[in-house]
Structure 1
């Protein structure tokens, strides 16, 4: 293997081999460690940028989910919970903070009196757009120097894995 392509996880493999882990389990563990490392490399600076904007990562996630659905930028709380892999209690806490900040509001659902909508306010849309710009800048900065075809290949390979995991969850 090219020494330039070695990373910190490669240094762990000989120990796993000595411990008798199978080649397939070593590959799974390598994948897990590398995904965690990549997540940390992206999430840590993004959390710092969001904190400067007065947002938590979970709040940003909710705002971005509402923005992603398009106008009128609204979803039911249960739809938010499913799309963000949060618990209903976690979603409720985040929505309370975002409502207090004036970034989202709850609206009646004319089609179903038992449910309500959560939607971005104009101020919430503005903050969301600024946070999305910051997120894009962080992602580009972290990935600087990695060839676009490498990023595309990694994204495609991970899609294969997450598609299987998603099917199992259903």
Structure 2
């Protein structure tokens, strides 16, 4: 199959144009936005994963640690609360907490008010690692967005927030 001279050879726009040529009866316009969102998301996620790997962390580990860290001292929550923030099942949270505990990044404690309730707390090592990783994570995030002005970043955030609310994904 040959690509017309005015069509890009590959990429999102080429795919949109090829679908438009093959199925002129379809409105392929959403493909462009979805394609670019997916492409940008994958590229940024890859960059951020590289940063986390430098700290020996996977994205899911960092998500749990960062969730605990943002709750303020003493940096602790119930597993269900962490899972709710991350939209992760209780069984998945148990597995994640087990692995983080084995790595010495979190500690399990019983609630002082109700000994049946387990509390997950960041260890000192977990706090230090999370803080160091977050600095590099944010720097890399800033680098990933450097092609945009601060006004464009604000505009993009607003548009993505609106899109997320409309598609039912909220603040996930």
Alignment map for 1:12-27 (pairs within 5 Å): 12-18=15-21, 19-20=23-24, 22-23=26-27, 26-27=28-29
The whole-number CA distance in structure 1 between the counterparts of 2:142 and 2:54 is 19
User: Aligned-pair RMSD on alpha carbons?
Assistant: 2.1
1:155 match: 157
Tell me the equivalent position of 1:4. none
Partner-residue secondary structure (3-state), 1:105: strand
TM-score normalized by the length of structure 1: 0.84
Aligned residue for 1:79, secondary structure, equals helix
- Residues 115-146 of structure 1: CA distance to partner in whole angstroms, max 9, x if unpaired? 21111111111000011011111111111232
Change (3 A) 1:112 1:141: same
Match of 2:3 in 1: none
Residues 20, 76 of structure 1: CA spacing in aligned structure 2 closer, same or farther, 3 A cutoff? Answer: farther
Structure 2 Cα separation of the partners of residues 104 and 82 of structure 1: 18
TM-score (normalizing by structure 2):
0.83
Greater C-alpha radius of gyration: 2
Q: How many residues align?
A: 160
Offset of residue 110 of structure 1: 2.5
CA distance in 2, matches of 1:59, 1:97: 9
Report deviation, 1:68: 1.3
Shift of residue 156, structure 1, vs aligned partner: 0.5
What secondary structure is seen at the aligned counterpart in 1 of 2:109? strand
Question: Unaligned 5+ residue runs, structure 1?
Answer: 1-6
The answer to which of 118-127 and 46-55 deviates more is 46-55
Please give the alpha-carbon distance, in whole angstroms, between the structure 1 residues aligned to 2:108 and 2:25.
Answer: 52
Q: Structure 2 unaligned runs (5+)?
A: 1-9
Kept in 1: contact 2:16–2:29 (CA 8 A): no
Asked if 1:11 is matched to 2:19, the reply is no
- For residues 67-104 of structure 1, what are the alpha-carbon distances to aligned partners after superposition, in whole Å with 9 as ceiling and x for unaligned? 11111111111111111122323222221111111111
Residues 39-69 of structure 1: per-residue CA shift (max 9 Å, x gap): 2121112212211211111000100111111
